Amino acid sequence: MKREKMPASEKHPEIQYLFDSLVKKLHTNHPDHQDQQLESAFEMALRAHENQNRESGEPYILHPLEVAHICADLGMDEASLVAALLHDTVEDTPIRLKRIRQVFGDEVAQMVDALTKIKHIDFFARFSGRTLSDEQARNLQKLFIAMARDFRVLVVKLADRLHNLRTLGNLPRERVERIARETLDFYVPLARRLGLQAVANEMEDICFRQLNPQEHEWITGMLSAHFKAKRSAYERMITNITRALASEKISLVRCFGRRKSPYSAWLKMKSQNLVPEQVFDLIAIRVIIDGDELDCYRTLGVIHGLYRPMFNRFRDFIAAPKSNGYRSLHTTVDGEGGQITEVQIRNRWMDEVAEHGIAAHWKYKHQLSQLQLRETFSWFKFMEDLSEDHLDSRDFVEKTRESLAQKEVLVLSPQGEVVSLPAGATALDFAYYIHTELGHAASQARVNGAEVPLDYELHNGDIVEIIKNPEGQCRPGPEWLNLVRSPKSIVKIKRWFRRRPRRERIEEGKLLLRTHIESEGLRPLRLMDNRRLLELIKALRIRKIDDLFEEIAAGRLMAPDVVKQLRSKLLERAAQKKLAGSPTDKLAASSAPRPVFRHLVGLASEIGIGSEENRPLRRKVELAPCCTPVRGDPIIGVDNRKEHRVEIHHRNCPQATGCTQGDLVPVTWLAQSSGTYYPSLLYIHALNRVGLLYAVLGKLSQLGINLAGGTHSHKPASGGEEETAELQLVVEVQDAEQLARAITAVSEVDDVIAVYRGFQIGDEP
């Protein structure tokens, strides 16, 4: 019986057309399905949204229909399309979840419920550093757990976001920019985590166009021009590859050129400071065959027989798939006309997964079971591990965010198993990946046959073997939280400490805090003083110091964060104490002797000094060591009749301002530089810690500044409120501008309280 048209669909024929084409897509992807639920969902959504319009003025029902179409294009099942049609009904219409459950069952109702909860969460707040309420964090935790149990929830949500991006035109500019940033920060990484490359690329392109319109126009034009210029070379390669595969009787589905997305190309060129000719994958040739894995390797051999490969750029994602299931062979060859070209080789199924990721598994249910899906998409397994660990909601959200942002490193077990870990992962992370008990009992590791410590950072292709402690007992140390990078490892170590007796946790927390203080080059006696800890626990609303240590051992407080707060208070007190003194005491307060250094004496022209109106000064001059003027400073000359030369002082130098008018000689810097390096005295006040001087000299070295002398003094470690260091460094600079850069750079060093010119007993210049 033919279904009766709804009034809204009669007014807007495109509504009926969209639904009919949706049914056809579902039949194409899933020929054995029964479409009664889809029709019922359409009728329910049509009635619910009948009098609603979008901001553009079009009927609201077009939005859920378009979302369902995106899901259908990805090959999603009927339940997903039903949830897509109904995803806004509970939130925006009188339809209740109970009604959806009665009509469509628990499966659809749970998906709609999870999708409805998303609207109550300000994703952008958490992922851009703004405040996220505890209620939002709890809702977000529930959402991620729901997504881990049913991947389809996230696919529908991503389809919803993609259609919203396609229809941004009628929104205020401020809201458009917020949505675009939120999408790049959160939804695009989620789409890539699921392997939904086409969805992620389109999202990126729209956001890029909205946030950086000029850059988008430039890179798009550049890619088009590049493709046009190289088209003939790529077409010759495609023709040659097609003929060669045919002669080897390898069934080719398609061979074509694929452009790199504008956003990816722009990011790569910007981050690596490259020109288009240095980006070898601006256009890649993609070869899709009808065969198995062995046929992919045969295809690789054929292509390497045609074109010389660059073996340092070969990646085998078939033997070592990405965590989102991506499998392909990537090789870079010296192509036609010397054009360096990337070639990607995969079969039909690999291509389906590469383009549609997790959604491909609903289109081809026979390929993988739900258990295999969870193994393939290990991120969701991690979500389940987090949920089982009963983490605090905020901690759960933070670990989720970290896991989304991390890149991968691929290593091997001694048995040849490929293990995917976050970039920067250590040997201890590998141990915890293999088995929790192996991680707990690890004592050291072997990488590529050589013994290494547990905090050794792993690299692609490393073969890793874990060595247990001689007793084979579980003995994690509290410092292990500083040795691992994987959120999964952190969760397992924290879980271990939570199960230890309270007395042990207190001692472990104390040791962990002390260890981290020492690793920062600070003094534990100073930072772990009871007065300071009492001040800290009051701010953290913790009752006792022992409770603070227990929270650190359990992982609910991170030792680096605690040390950061203690250090901040220490710096604040030191700065207040320094500011409390008189401005005229800056240099006098230093207990360090003034450094001895060679100040400049010579002919005025050699040092770059002239008389008024930039005329040569035919006299001998001396750059005064009391104020160490440099080129660009305001200067004044003082006639030293005894030494028969002119002393050059900074105009603010007290010794110059105290001279009589008859002793002063008007001088200036010559317009043309003499190439001289001028000594200048810097006074640095900082917390005293291991590595302070090294960090300061490192900053100066980065600027190409030489050290000509210096002195150092500090207060005793056990005396006073805080131990501070006082440095007087003589640096050689070309001019005042370089000196200003040096002061700025040194002031950015951790624990530096103040930096200024050593002579400045009076006002700033």
Task: Copy the structure tokens of residue 423.
Answer: 């970039």
CATH number at residue 616: 3.30.70.260
Instruction: Indicate the pLDDT class of residue 607, thresholds 50, 70 and 90.
Output: confident
Average pLDDT over residues 200-218: 88
User: Which of left, alpha, beta for 297 (phi over 0: left; psi -120 to 50: alpha)?
Assistant: alpha
Amino acid at 556: R
Q: What is the pLDDT of residue 125?
A: 42
- Does residue 80 sit within a domain? yes
Q: Enumerate the active-site residues.
A: 91-92
What pLDDT does 131 receive?
A: 43
Q: Tell me: the pLDDT tens digits for 410-446? A: 788 887 777 778 778 888 888 888 888 888 888 888 8
* 671 DSSP assignment: S
Domain termination residue (choose one: 211, 246, 262): 211
Residues 564, 646 within the same domain:
no
* Domain presence at residue 44: yes
How far are the Cα atoms of 163, 301, 659 from residue 233, in angstroms, in the given order? 37, 21, 79
8 Å CB contact between 182 and 242: no
Question: Would you say residue 422 lies in a domain?
Answer: yes
Q: Give pLDDT tens digits for 79-90.
A: 888 888 888 888
Please give the pLDDT value at position 287: 93
Residue 585 in this model has a pLDDT that exceeds 50: no
3-state secondary structure of 370: helix
Mean pLDDT of 578-585: 46
- 450 CB-near residues (< 8 Å, 6+ apart): none
201-210, 372-381, 542-551, 608-617: which is most confident: 201-210
Q: Using CA atoms, how far apart are residues 408 and 144, in angstroms rounded to an integer?
A: 21
Domain boundary among 211, 232, 250: 211
In a domain, residue 486? The reply is no
Contact 436, 430 (CB under 8 A): no
Instruction: Indicate if 205 and 228 belong to the same structural domain.
Output: no
- Residue 477's pLDDT is what? 72
**244-266 pLDDT per residue, tens:** 999 989 999 999 888 778 888 78
The domain boundary, picked from 508, 543, 578, lies at 578
Give the pLDDT band (50/70/90) at residue 298. very high
**590 found inside a domain:** no
Judgement on whether residues 44 and 190 belong to the same structural domain of the protein: yes
How many Cα neighbours within 13 Å face the side chain of 393?
13
For residue 296, what pLDDT band results from cuts at 50, 70 and 90?
Answer: very high
- Tokens 């400045």 correspond to 760
- Among 64, 10, 73, smallest CA distance to 41 is for 64
pLDDT in the model for residue 612: 74
- 179 and 227 co-located in one domain: no
C-alpha 626/C-alpha 217 separation (Å) is: 57
**Domain total in the chain:** 5
Instruction: Give CA 638 to chain center in angstroms.
Output: 56
- Please, which pLDDT band fits residue 25 given cuts at 50, 70 and 90? confident
Query: Do 628 and 610 share a structural domain?
Result: yes
- If asked whether residues 203 and 321 sit together in one domain, one would say no
Indicate whether 359 and 424 sit together in one domain.
no
Amino acid 288: pLDDT: 93
Q: What is the mean pLDDT of residues 141-165?
A: 77
In the block, tokens 């005295």 appear at 681
- In b/e form, how buried is each residue of 413-428, taking b as 16+ CB within 10 angstroms? eeeeeebbbbeebbbb
Based on the domain organization, do 31 and 173 belong to the same domain? Answer: yes
Which pLDDT belongs to residue 140? 56
Q: Pick the residue with more confidence: 177 or 555?
A: 177
The answer to the question of residue 169 being in a domain is yes
The residue that leads in pLDDT, 255 or 7, is: 255
| Choice between 274 and 334, residue whose per-residue pLDDT is larger | 334
Q: Are 607 and 650 within one domain?
A: yes
pLDDT over threshold 60, residue 307:
yes
More confident residue, 590 or 683: 683
Percent of the chain with pLDDT over 90: 5
Mean residue pLDDT of the chain comes to 77
- Residue with the two structure tokens 């980006």: 279
Say if residue 346's pLDDT is above 90.
yes
Tens digits of residue pLDDT in 455-507:
888 887 788 888 888 777 777 776 777 788 877 787 788 777 777 777 877 77
Domain around 520: 500-578
**What's the pLDDT tens digit per position in 29-76?**
777 776 678 888 888 888 888 888 887 778 888 888 999 999 888 888
- Write 161-169 long-range contacts (CB < 8 A, 24+): 161/187, 161/203, 162/70, 162/199, 162/202, 162/203, 163/63, 163/66, 163/67, 163/70, 164/63, 165/202, 165/203, 165/206, 165/207, 166/66, 166/206, 167/54, 167/56, 167/63, 168/206, 168/210, 169/56
Residue % of the chain over a pLDDT of 70: 79
The larger pLDDT score, comparing residue 7 to residue 63, is at 63
Q: Compare 543 and 622 and report the one with higher pLDDT.
A: 622
Question: Residue 297: its pLDDT value, please?
Answer: 92
Same domain, 164 and 239: no
Residue 520 pLDDT: 72
Torsion sign across C-alpha atoms 357, 358, 363, 368: positive
Look at residue 611 in the predicted model and tell me its pLDDT.
Answer: 85
Q: pLDDT digit string (tens) for 687-700?
A: 877 788 888 888 88
Residue 752 has pLDDT above 70, yes or no: yes
Quick check: is 395 in a domain? no
* Residue 683 or residue 498, greater confidence: 683
Residue type, 52: Q
Confidence of residue 584 (pLDDT cuts 50, 70, 90): very low
Confidence at residue 280, expressed as pLDDT on a 0 to 100 scale: 62
pTM: 0.57
Does residue 123 sit in the same domain as residue 239? no
User: Six-digit token pair at 33?
Assistant: 């399905």
The model's confidence at residue 329, banded by pLDDT at 50, 70 and 90, is: very high
- The answer for residues whose C-beta is within 8 angstroms of residue 337's C-beta and 6 or more apart is 233
The verdict on 189 and 267 lying in the same domain is no
CATH code at position 276: 3.30.460.10
Please report the pLDDT score of residue 122 as a whole number.
45
Q: Specify the residue for token string 């729209």.
A: 206
Higher pLDDT, 250 or 382: 250
Per-residue pLDDT band for 344 (boundaries 50, 70, 90) equals very high
Residue 375 lies in a domain: no
The mean per-residue pLDDT over the stretch 394-413 comes to 65
